[in-house]
Amino acid sequence: MTRRGCSRAVPIAVAAALVLAACGAPAPAVDDDVAGMVAIGGDRSIFLDCRGAGSPTVVLVSGTGGAADEWTVVVDPADPAAAPAPSPSAVLPTVASFTRVCAYDRPGTVLADDRLSPSTPVPQPTSAGASAEDLRAVLTAAGESGPYVLVGASWGAMITALYARVHGGQVAGLVTVDGASVFLRETMTSAQWSDWMRTIAATVDPARGIEVPDYPAAVDEILAAPPLPQPLPAAVLTSDHPWDLQVGDTGSTWPAWLAAQDRLADELRARHVTDTDSGHGIAVEKPRLVAGAVRAVVDQARGGGGSGVRNGS
């Protein structure tokens, strides 16, 4: 679950968008691309990148350590060992072609060039609750209004899961991209879970400030939160190239990961896309598949039903 796996004030446009969205039609929005630091209070700022126009707004939430630029790069199929490179076919620019889309740098995330994000650091580890509150704060401060379709990759899916429960009235749909979930604590053996938590805890380095997720706290926060709003358009994308967390000597975590994905899809009543031809980093390996899943959920949220999320790329 590791990486590689601006304010606006448009009250008239936002009001019009909300009226049209309530009527089930795609809402026009100001096509105002913004990328920069957003002050969220308490002497803290978060980097936010928003592009495109339309409603609902898609919000991309990366996995552990992943900054906003993770959604702007792709892997070259001809040279999969090379570092992901910027591409117009990446998830963020593709989604921007059909609706508003935002991505942001959580504190302690790392840019594609290995520099630490300029987002104000916070003590680590950090919980899903703190991250969800930061997400709410940066969207509000930047004037980015809901409804939102939340897209969570890996650890990011824990953040979107909690956000959808706490701020359900703002959420129009969910997409998980090989997302983590509360079910991992049940599908893993107790030894695997304990080994994984010890491995994560060992990565805390106050001097560097790199993001470290607090999974036990996140599980407790999600289980204590209100239930998900229903019905909620959703899609679950799961890797089909086996990978392993490589913690301890208690056997592969891959079966537990797949079992948790099945349970997550059941909970969300989501179309489960399992034929992804991808490892854990589906967004950079198969961006067209991810963007297609997002578009189907956006279409459902708009009331058009969409064409469905299909297996394959």
Residue by residue, pLDDT tens for the chain (313 residues) are: 444 333 332 232 222 332 233 333 444 444 589 999 999 999 999 999 999 999 999 999 999 999 999 999 999 988 888 889 999 999 999 999 999 999 999 999 999 999 999 999 999 999 999 999 999 999 999 999 999 999 999 999 999 999 999 999 999 999 999 999 999 999 999 999 999 999 999 999 999 999 999 999 999 999 999 999 888 999 999 999 999 999 989 899 999 999 999 999 999 999 999 999 999 999 999 999 999 999 999 999 999 654 444 333 3
Distance CA(296)–CA(120), nearest Å, equals 35
pLDDT at 13: 29
Neighbour-count burial of 34, counting CB atoms closer than 10 A to its CB (0-12 exposed, 13-18 middle, 19+ buried): middle
- The CATH architecture to which 11-301 belongs is 3-Layer(aba) Sandwich (3.40)
| DSSP state for residue 167 in the 8-state scheme | T
What letters, b where the CB count within 10 A reaches 16 and e where it falls short, cover 178-189?
bbbbbbbbebbe
| DSSP state for residue 126 in the 8-state scheme | B
Helix (H, G, I), strand (E, B) or coil at 160: helix
Distance CA(112)–CA(217), nearest Å, equals 28
Question: Residues near 40 by Cβ (< 8 Å), separated by ≥ 6?
Answer: 46, 134, 137, 138, 141
Distance CA(251)–CA(254), nearest Å, equals 9
Place of tokens 């049940």: 186
pLDDT at 2: 41
- Determine the distance from the C-alpha atom of residue 296 to the mean position of all C-alpha atoms in its chain, rounded to a whole number: 16
Helix (H, G, I), strand (E, B) or coil at 26: coil
Do residues 111 and 67 make contact, with C-beta atoms less than 8 angstroms apart? yes
Q: Which long-range contacts (C-beta less than 8 Å, at least 24 apart) are formed by 196-199?
A: 196/245, 196/247, 196/248, 196/253, 198/247, 199/245, 199/247
pLDDT at 304: 60
pLDDT at 311: 39
Helix (H, G, I), strand (E, B) or coil at 297: helix
Do residues 8 and 32 make contact, with C-beta atoms less than 8 angstroms apart? yes
